[in-house]
Each structure stands twice: as structure tokens, then as C-alpha cells.
Amino acid sequence: MKRIEIGRFAGFCSGVERTIRMTMEALNKDKNRVYSLGQIIHNPQMVRRLEELGLNVVSDINEIKEGIFIVRSHGLPDNYIRELKKRGLKIIDATCPFVKKVQEKARVLKKQGYELIIVGDSQHPEIKGVLSAVSEKATVISTKDEAELVSGKRVGVVFQTTFPLSWAQDIVAGLLDGCQELKVYNTLCFETLNRQKEAIEMARVVDVMIVVGGKNSANTTNLANITASCGCPTYHIEEARELQSEWFDGVCSVGLTAGASTQSLLIDEVVSNLKQILGDAEVHIFGVDLQK
Ligand code: SF4
């Protein structure tokens, strides 16, 4: 019998749930005057749903004149928030507490006089927010090669919350060479770590991995990269209809995980399409001896 294994940690994390709840509460108060700058979470389907309920997603803060502004889960540079407050907008800060922790630890390191290294994707909104928290006085790196070029007497490090653990370990090893004193704050989000660890365990025992979530979602893309790097054929999809039957030729077991902003409805749709493609298949929760 073919098997579909669903990750226990697949789907919404607490930070995303909190952002959606805060957005819904704001929409209940002031249906047509709630704004976000860019996608409030990296899940295009969920963002579309919130837009149907009244959320205005804008690409430029100059499009916002009044009402309620929601700071997305990845945070926002301080100057944007100051400007919106000046215009009289009510600010609801839905920045995930784990992201806040990165900002806070970055400030602490700067205050203590460390040269700050932020490990992550310089183009990601979370990192732009962290840079703004330290007035852009930091260097962003994302590879061991870049880490090996860093030299300094007192160097402090924080990580993007969703950065893969093993890559973070490599980067710290790379930094050791050129830094006399190295202070590292582990700002990786433990929900992401659990998901990544589980994805690796699954990728080692299944024939194919399906990773569900926004293509613009850092944590989902990292999951797909991690499982692919374990040697397991991996497909990153946003919706169930993207599944292709030829991916499963000769396959007996499929692992399914999902990014932190992927709702369970989407996961259920993927499972349902997978069952159709595979024919008779048992659905299990990974690591739990029960059928779903
Ligand atoms: S993945 Fe972690 S850091 Fe990102 S929103 Fe969820 S809980 Fe917060």
C-alpha cells in the first residue's frame, strides 16, 4: 500500500496565526480602511482571502492616507512606522515576537559595541526591518564564503528567524577564523527548526517530498532546498492543482510538509489530489503510528 506522510509541524505557525487574527480583528472594526504594505504573510491565497474581506494591500505607503495600518509578521523599517504615525494612522504591530527578538538582540549587540553581522537574505523584509533597527549599521551575509571574509576584534551575530540551522552552523564556523571575540545570539525560530528537522527526517525515508507554500516564502523555500539537499526529489508547489502525475511514477511513499504560512485547507487539498494520483494510499501523520 502506498503511503502519504504528513508532517506534524506542517502549516501555520503561531506568528502567522497571530498576524491573521490581528488583521481579522482590525477588519471587524473598520472594514474598508485597513492597510498593509506588501503581503502581510507570504501566502498569496490567504492574502487574497483577506483582501476579499476588505484588507488593502499597497506597494507604497503614500497610497495610505487614513485608517488602520497592520505591520506584517516580518516587521517593517522604523522610518515607515514613524511616517504613518505622523499621518495619524492607527498602527497595529503584528510583527512576530521571534522577529522582534532578532531586532532587540541586534540593538543590544550594537549598544555593547560589537560589529554586527546579520545572517540572512538582505532583500527579505525581515532583514530590512532588522537593519533599520540598528540604523543600517550592520553587514548582512548569507554564506560561509562571506563569513570567512569577516575580520574584527568584537563581532556580534544574529540570524534571520527562518535561516536553515546547518547553514547557520557553517557560517559561525566560517566566522571563527577572522574574529577575536564572537558573540552569537541564536535567533532562529524554534517552530521553523522543528519543521526543518522533521522535513529532513521525512526526506530520508520517503521517495518524493512535496513542499507546499508561497514561492516568495523564505521558510517554505528553505524547506524545499533542505529536503532536496538530502537527495530526495522535491517539488515546491503553492496549490494542489500544480501536482503532476509523472512526479509519482514508481513512487511508494510521499512526504508532505508546508511552510509556516500555509493553511490546513491547502494541505488537505494537496492530500486529496495526491490520493487521486496515487490510487489507493494510506495517509499518516509522520512519526505517529496513526492513520489520518
Ligand atoms: S516562522 Fe517563526 S518567525 Fe516566522 S512568523 Fe512563524 S513563528 Fe514567527
- Summarised one tens digit per residue, pLDDT across range 190-208 is 999 999 999 999 999 999 9
Say which amino acid occupies 45. Q
**For residues 81 and 79, what is the distance between their CA atoms, to the nearest angstrom?**
5
For residue 291, is it within any domain? Answer: no
Q: Among 38, 71, 96, identify where a domain stops.
A: 96
Q: Are 113 and 182 members of one domain? A: yes
Burial 200-216 (b: 16+ CB within 10 A, else e): bbbbeebebbbbbbbee
247 neighbors 233 (Cβ within 8 angstroms): yes
Whether residue 112 is found in the same domain as residue 176 = yes
pLDDT of residue 292: 57
Return the best residue to mutate from 130, 187, 219 for the ligand 1 pocket (most ligand atoms within 8 A of CB).
Answer: 219
In this structure, are 8 and 39 located in the same domain?
no
Residues 278, 196 within the same domain = yes
Q: Are residues 104 and 80 in the same domain?
A: no
Return the best residue to mutate from 46, 130, 186, 189 for the ligand 1 pocket (most ligand atoms within 8 A of CB): 189
Hey, is 292 helix, strand or coil?
coil
Cα gap 75→170, rounded to integer Å: 27
CB of 15 shorter than 6 A to ligand 1 = yes
Looking at the chain, list the stretches that DSSP marks H as alpha helix, in order from N- to C-terminal side.
14-29, 44-52, 78-86, 97-111, 125-133, 144-148, 165-176, 190-205, 218-229, 264-278
Q: Do 92 and 112 sit in the same domain of this protein?
A: no
Among the three residues 161, 188, 215, which one is the final residue of a domain in this structure?
Answer: 188
Does some domain include residue 206?
yes
Which structural domain, as residue segments, surrounds residue 36? 14-96
On whether both 104 and 167 belong to a single domain, the answer is yes
User: Are 272 and 198 within one domain?
Assistant: yes
Asked, for residue 181, whether it belongs to a domain, the answer is yes
145 CB contacts (<8 Å, ≥6 apart)? 174
- Whether 108 is in a domain gets the answer yes
**How many separate domains does the chain show?**
3
- Looking at the structure, tell me whether residues 195 and 265 fall in a common domain: yes
Whole-angstrom distance, CA of residue 13 vs CA of residue 9? 8
- Smallest CA-to-CA distance from 211 within 221, 198, 201, 200 is with 221
Q: What share of the chain is helix, strand, coil (3-state, %, to 5)?
A: 45, 20, 35
- pLDDT for residue 44: 84
> Catalytic: 126?
yes
Q: Note the pLDDT tens digit of each residue in 35-75.
A: 999 989 888 888 999 999 999 999 999 999 899 999 999 99
Question: Burial code of 130-147, b = ≥16 C-beta within 10 A, e = fewer?
Answer: bbbbbeeebbbbbeeebb
For the Cβ of 96 lying below 6 angstroms from any atom of ligand 1, the answer is: yes
| DSSP bridge partners of 256 | 6, 210
* 220 Cβ closer than 6 Å to some ligand 1 atom: no
Cα Rg of the chain, angstroms: 21
pLDDT tens digits for range 273-292 = 999 999 979 999 998 765 55
H helix count then E strand count, the chain = 10, 13
Q: How many other β-carbons are positioned within 10 Å of the β-carbon of residue 151?
A: 12
Q: Residue 225, class by beta-carbon neighbours within 10 Å (0-12 exposed, 13-18 middle, 19+ buried)?
A: middle
Residues of the chain with pLDDT under 50: none
192 lines ligand 1 (CB under 6 A): yes
Residue 27: CATH number of its domain: 3.40.50.11270
Q: How far is the CA of 119 from the centre of ligand 1 (A)?
A: 16
Instruction: Please say which residue of 96, 131, 162 terminates a domain.
Output: 96
Cell of 185: 545570539
Q: Is 98 in the pocket of ligand 1 (CB under 6 A)?
A: yes
CB 269 within 8 A of CB 258: no
What pLDDT is stored for residue 137 in this prediction?
95
Q: Are residues 83 and 127 in the same domain?
A: no
Looking at the fold, whether 155 and 144 belong to one and the same domain comes out as: yes
Q: Take atom 8 of ligand 1 and give the residue whose Cα is closest.
A: 15
Q: Which of 126, 191, 198, 238 is catalytic?
A: 126
Residue 165 sits in a domain whose CATH number is 3.40.1010.20
The reported pLDDT for the residue numbered 28 is 93
